[in-house]
Structure 1
Amino acid sequence: MAHFSRRRFLGVSAGLAATWGLSPQLMGRALAAPETPADVPTTLLQTFRQSSTPVTGQYRTLLAGPGETYTPRYDLIGKKANNARVNQRRSLAYLGHMSDIHIIDPQSPARLEPMQQMSPTLWQGAARPQDTMTVQVQAQMVAAMAAARYSPLTGSPMAAMFNTGDSADMISQAELRWYVDIMDGKSVVPNTGIEGQYDGPQAWPEADYAYHPDDPSLDRFGPYGFPSIPGVLKAAISQSVESPGMPVPWYAVYGNHDAIYYGTFPIDAALQSLAVGERKPAVLEALASNYFGGWASDPTVLGRLQHMITTQFGNQPDMRSVASDPERELFSQMGFMEAHFATETNPGPVGHGFTRENLESGKTYWQADVGSHLRLFGLDTCNQVTGADGAVPQDQFEWLQDELAKARDLNKMAIVLSHHNSFTLENGAESVTGPNQPLIHAEQFIDMLLQFPNMIAWCNGHTHINTINAHPRSDGTGGFWEITTASCIDFPQQQQLVEILDNKDGTISIFTTVLDHLSAADWSAGDFSQQGLASLSRQLSANDWVASPLKRLGSPLDRNTELLLPAPFDLSVINDADLATEIAVRKARIVAYEEAQK
């Protein structure tokens, strides 16, 4: 490594080899290898686009398209950048960003699929054609992150990955466990109920709101041109899904779907009973009259208990009998944190941002350092009362303000992580019984962040659309970038790579690179492999006739970009030798990961 003396190189190499139980020769060769742009599958090389003509009806397949280069954005420096930066810059941190994974247990009795009968637009997330394939998609996205463990821009090793929420879809314990296990590189069979048997609306003729791959003529998807794919439901819930696991430490924050039911409603005893029970509503009338109707007509505890008993044991019309499964239990706010402690120590960290202090205090926000000069701040912007959108509670707002000041004084760049973005940070719902604290909304939150020159990026999700916004200071002295990634559930099923570079000219660049999961552009009929099902999921999502899937791609200004801003402090305090040591530590972790994969 160029910034090491021979003695220091040998010492660092030997120490890291001992730490990871690898031979000094192997570690030495890996650390001595020059950092060059990695040839990894990203949207720099290939993109996915819809076919120009439909296959059947309006249904279109996907095709491989040309890659997209980086688009520079000068919003926060007010002028074009110095071209000399290309040859003199250095990588400070290379990161992965996932969001809105939405792992789904499609057989849970507590799902809201029948609401699609009332309004496919209003309830478009209640049932999707690709609901049975979410674990396969997550596994292939983890595989894509692992393949991109070295930067396609600089060759720098990945330092960390963060996930900005909505990991589970319907706060099911099974969903939460599957998501953590796939991140950790474990095998998952995404099935609850009877082994090898799918029990849900996609197989029930009366559920005409859902896509029936065995026979689309039974539903509204058939006339659109959705294909007949017999056997795909059983394949999706029967096969073991394998994951390589994240190669680097990963961190997580709450999304609204990790906090309350359907990301919108509070949980009660009747709903919990429905989730673990033996009766599942097949159509809207059953759901409305047997659950929502009973809740609305008698909201007392005793009334809901009587209704719960009637729903589970009475002869209710259009309630299907299904096998119960305790793994479908709905998890609590504390349960989400606890699941992140039932994890692997490598890559870790245990808790994935949350600490024992979080479990003891109940605080749902955290901070963590990635190297010596970058600090992550994980917020919980979810409203526990009601509503899909969020806000920043006063206690988190004040804590973050204090901690950003401390980070500034320590010459640490700051990245804030939350689920909600600046377009969706306006939820003001409060408990009628209290206690409540003030809720901070987007304008006030952004104004506070702009007080800190070390605040460089706010990364989030929620809207399932690739979006990048500049937040400038009113005096023209920079600002910060807001980076919103898409989702793993809706088209384009993309996530992001984020790299921070010191341009050595008084500016930094944040490069964003959009990442597709590792599966073919065009699904091959009959391919029920893990990669095949992930490919099929993306194709189905691209034909979402309720939403506008192509708009979720964002514009070129929202995808592969170079986001410039003034340096947050004098970056010469990050000396090259210390940075080289940090990069060596990151590279050693990845070398150990690669050896474990063999």
Structure 2
Amino acid sequence: MSAPHLPSVGFATPPPLTLHRTWSGGEIVRTGREAAYRQLDIGGGEAHLLRDELAPGASRWRGAAGSVRGVRSLLCLAHVTDLQLADVQSPARFEFFNREFADPRFRDLVPVQRPQEALTTHAVDAMLRTLNRIDAGPVGSRPVDLVVTTGDAIDNAQWNELEAFLALMDGGVVRGRSGAHRYEGVQSVTWPDDVFWRPDGAGPAGEDLFRAHYGFPHLPGLIERALDDFTSAGLRVPWLACFGNHEALIQGVGVVTPEVEAALVGGLKPTRLPPGIDLDRAVEIFISGSHAFLGGDDRPVTPDPSRRPITRAEFVEAHFRSGARPDGHGFTEANRRTGTAYYAYDTEHVRLVALDTTCVAGAADGALDVDQVRWLEERLVEVHAQYETPDGTTVRTGHDDRLVVLFSHHGLDTLTNRRGVRPGVDGSDVVGAPELLRLVHRFPNVVLWLNGHTHTNGVRPRPHPDRTGAGFWEVTTCAVVDWPCQTRIVEIVDAGEGMLALACTMVDHDSPQHLTGAWAGGMGATGGIPVQATGSASPHAQVDLAALHRELAANVPWAGLESPLAGTVADRNVVLPIRAPFPLARAY
């Protein structure tokens, strides 16, 4: 691999592409028993890395002047995934599972709660404002055509979470509170558990685990400020939607049973594991009957009907709002009629195909059924002049060629769910990842698959098993909710000489390095964040909350600076060459 020199972006005030700057651990603010809490430092940029696994010899693109020559951008999009906007006061979030973090029997159920999660709406708002400032991709210089989301926009399959997501993306008032006017969640100083970070200070039993062991700060008033209403300007470009497991399932894992549906809008919130649960079967019990975990100690909270669970059909229907761009954010009238969430969307040069990989029968990993795979094959045939049958026979269609980008919540490595895509189905309708990969390889115009789910940056070549230089690239982007809290610009450019280049560039949201003014005092032992009496956070406060969200995420012991979530340099700013599957100049 080698790093090509790329053309300058030329921004007067550049948005924070990681080509220009990167974040790393900085000054120690406070030391806990096990680790230190750090602020973040800004370092130098990270140049694009050329990965030539699917196109050996592509380094010849680098000319004497050091730039990629002859580029003609065909599509520029931003990839946003795994926001996991959470109702942090929901009665049917089982945050107490975090106490079982070291128990391998709970590996697929934790973490439920994050120290920074009440601030995530502000981080998302900052990211959208940053994307609005990006006038063109750094390689092809094409304006951003659209934003593609790949699921888990919300956390717990709740209506009020979906309302917050749509207000952020389309513009409108973002409401962070539910239930009571004052916060009633697990980060309260009165909550009977010390496993959660308490920004307001020590509880009745003393310091919480995050303060004592990891040096987290006291920031009195933070949660109340974070939950204040604010107005989002929304995205200035069209955006496409996608259905993920957290849109469908409790905590992205458990089926919404009638008992859980009642608990969501009710007035009791569990605080401990109930007695008598078979912990060896904890995951299986939660998948099919998460209400079994409602039977332990609880405490009263304020009921709220807006916490009601949503179905896939309701998720789709909610996107058909006045002013949506495009109409339905990609979802179609066929989706409204059938209750499905997969569709095709054509840009000037590229067909985008959204897959629904969520298994509403339960469990976090994904699956596709035979009906959707049959539909996918039909949509691929429509944009291929020729393709292969399963036995290798070439079929000529008479159709015009178009490049194809797939996007979905799950990637190939997490399409492992065999429960059956629909409740009550035994799994016989499920198409596994190997079969799906063979299908995609029969259609050479598929050059890219975008996805999320793992919260980790990753770039993988998917070479054709029989043809050297053929195949597609699979690109997984990290979560906004977790470190490194980034999104990704993806460009498809005609690089000439029968080659395409897929250029990927990570984007940080544009918020300060450190808290400013009165906010900074909260990093000590006694200072705090003033609670605004008006109930409407100022723009300055929103920016600081976004900065604090990133800093908190960086210090989470299992998912911060020292975790693998950011990926390697080969998973972030990369140029991915691939041979064009048809003559681009003739087709476009």
TM class by smaller structure: 0.7 to 0.9
CA shift, 1:455, in A, is 0.5
Equivalent-residue separation in structure 2 for 1:107 and 1:287 (angstroms): 26
Equivalent residue number for residue 41 of structure 1: 16
- CA gap 1:210/1:503 in 2 versus in 1, 3 angstroms: same
CA contact (8 A) 1:496 1:514 kept: yes
Where does the alignment leave 5 or more consecutive residues of structure 1 unmatched? 1-34, 576-598
Q: Secondary structure at the match of 1:44?
A: coil
Structure 1 or 2: more helix by fraction: 1
Kindly tell me: are residues 128 and 61 of structure 1, through their superposed partners in 2, closer, same or farther at Cα, counting changes over 3 Å? same
- Cα distance change, pair 176–502 in 1 and its aligned pair in 2 (3 A): same
CA–CA distance in structure 2, aligned partners of residues 287 and 37 of structure 1: 63
Please tell me whether residue 493 in structure 1 is matched to residue 497 in structure 2: no
Question: Could you state the TM-score of these two structures normalised by the residue count of structure 2?
Answer: 0.83
Instruction: Look up the match of 2:180.
Output: 194
User: Within 2, Cα distance between the matches of 1:447 and 1:465?
Assistant: 25
SS of 2:489 mapped into structure 1: strand
Residue 273 of structure 1: how far off its partner (Å): 0.9
- Map 1:469-488; keep pairs closer than 5 Å: 469-474=460-465, 475-488=467-480
Question: What is the CA distance between 1:296 and its match in structure 2?
Answer: 7.2
Mapping 1:248-397, distance limit 5 Å: 248-285=237-274, 318-345=297-324, 348-371=325-348, 373-397=349-373
- The answer to whether structure 1 residue 170 and structure 2 residue 146 are counterparts is no
CA contact (8 A) 2:185 2:191 kept: no
Contact 2:55 2:577 survives alignment (8 Å): yes
Identity %: 32
Choose from 157, 163, 168 the match for 1:182: 168
Match in the other structure for 2:534: none
Q: 2:235 aligns with which of 246, 249, 254?
A: 246
Distance 2:352 2:131 in 1: 19
Q: Is the aligned partner of 1:67 residue 2:45?
A: yes
Question: CA 1:343/1:556 → structure 2, altered by over 3 Å: closer, same or farther?
Answer: farther
* CA distance in 2 between partners of 1:104 and 1:359 (Å): 26
Which residue is equivalent to 2:5?
none
**1:156-212, CA deviations, whole angstroms, 9 ceiling, x for partnerless residues?**
1111111000011001111111001100021213111122x1111100341212111
SS at match of 2:545: helix
Mind listing any 5+ residue stretches in structure 2 that lack a counterpart? 1-7, 386-399, 521-528, 530-540
For the pair 1:526 / 2:539, whether they are aligned, the reply is no
Residue 352 of structure 1 deviates from its aligned partner by 0.9
In 1, are the aligned partners of 2:156 and 2:246 still within 8 Å (CA)? yes
Of 80, 83, 91 in structure 2, the residue corresponding to residue 109 of structure 1 is 91
2:220 match: 230
Counterpart Cα distance in 2 of 1:287 and 1:138 = 40
Match of residue 407, structure 1, among 361, 375, 383:
383
Q: Which amino acid is the alignment partner of residue 198 of structure 1? A: Y
* C-alpha displacement of 1:480: 0.5
Counterpart of 2:96 in 1: which secondary structure?
Answer: helix
Q: Which residue among 50, 54, 59 is the counterpart of 2:25?
A: 50
- Kindly indicate whether the alpha-carbon contact (under 8 Å) linking 2:418 and 2:427 is maintained by their aligned counterparts in 1: no
Aligned position for 2:456: 465
**What is the deviation of 1:363?**
2.1
Task: Using the TM superposition, name which of 566-575 and 249-258 deviates more.
Answer: 566-575
- The residue aligned with 1:220 is 209
Cα 1:264/1:42, change in 2 over 3 Å? same
Q: Does the Cα contact within 8 Å between 1:105 and 1:192 map onto a contact in 2?
A: yes
How far 1:153 moved relative to its partner?
2.9
- CA distance in 2: counterparts of 1:296 and 1:422, whole angstroms: 26
- How big is the alpha-carbon RMSD for the aligned residues of Structure 1 and Structure 2? 2.6
Q: Is the 8 A contact 1:286 1:318 kept in 2?
A: no
Please, which moves more after superposition, 125-134 or 516-525?
Answer: 516-525
Measure, in 2, the Cα distance between the counterparts of 1:286 and 1:202: 24
Task: Give the distance between the partners of 1:184 and 1:559, measured in 2 at CA.
Answer: 28
Task: Pick closer, same or farther for the CA change 1:218–1:561 going to 2, 3 Å.
Answer: same
Structure 1 counterpart of 2:166, which letter?
A: V
Separation of aligned partners in 2, 1:398 and 1:572: 31
The structure 2 residue matched to 1:97, chosen from 79, 84, 88, is: 79
Tell me, what secondary structure is at the counterpart of 2:163? helix
1:439 aligned to which of 422, 430, 436: 430
1:553 aligns with 2:530: no
Paired residue secondary structure (2:76): strand
Q: Is the 2:40–2:551 contact (alpha carbons within 8 Å) kept by the matching residues of 1? A: yes
CA distance in 2, matches of 1:434, 1:156: 46
Q: 1:417 aligns with which of 404, 407, 428?
A: 407
Instruction: Answer yes or no: is the 8 Å Cα contact 2:149–2:242 preserved in 1.
Output: yes
Using the alignment, how far apart are the partners of 2:322 and 2:48 within structure 1? 36
Give the aligned residue type for 1:44: L
Question: Given the superposition, is the C-alpha separation of residues 155 and 379 from structure 1 closer, same or farther in structure 2, using an over 3 Å criterion?
Answer: same
Counterpart CA distance in 2 for 1:120 and 1:276 is 31
Q: Which amino acid aligns with 1:82?
A: R
Distance 1:402 1:433 in 2: 27
* Inter-partner Cα distance in structure 2 for 1:412 and 1:462: 28
Aligned to 2:384, what secondary structure does the other structure show? helix
CA deviations over 1:79-114 (Å, ceiling 9, x no partner): 233335723211111111101010011011111111
Distance 2:427 2:110 in 1: 32
- Trace 1:1-16 onto structure 2 (pairs within 5 A): none
Q: Does the CA contact (< 8 Å) of 1:104 and 1:170 recur in 2? A: yes
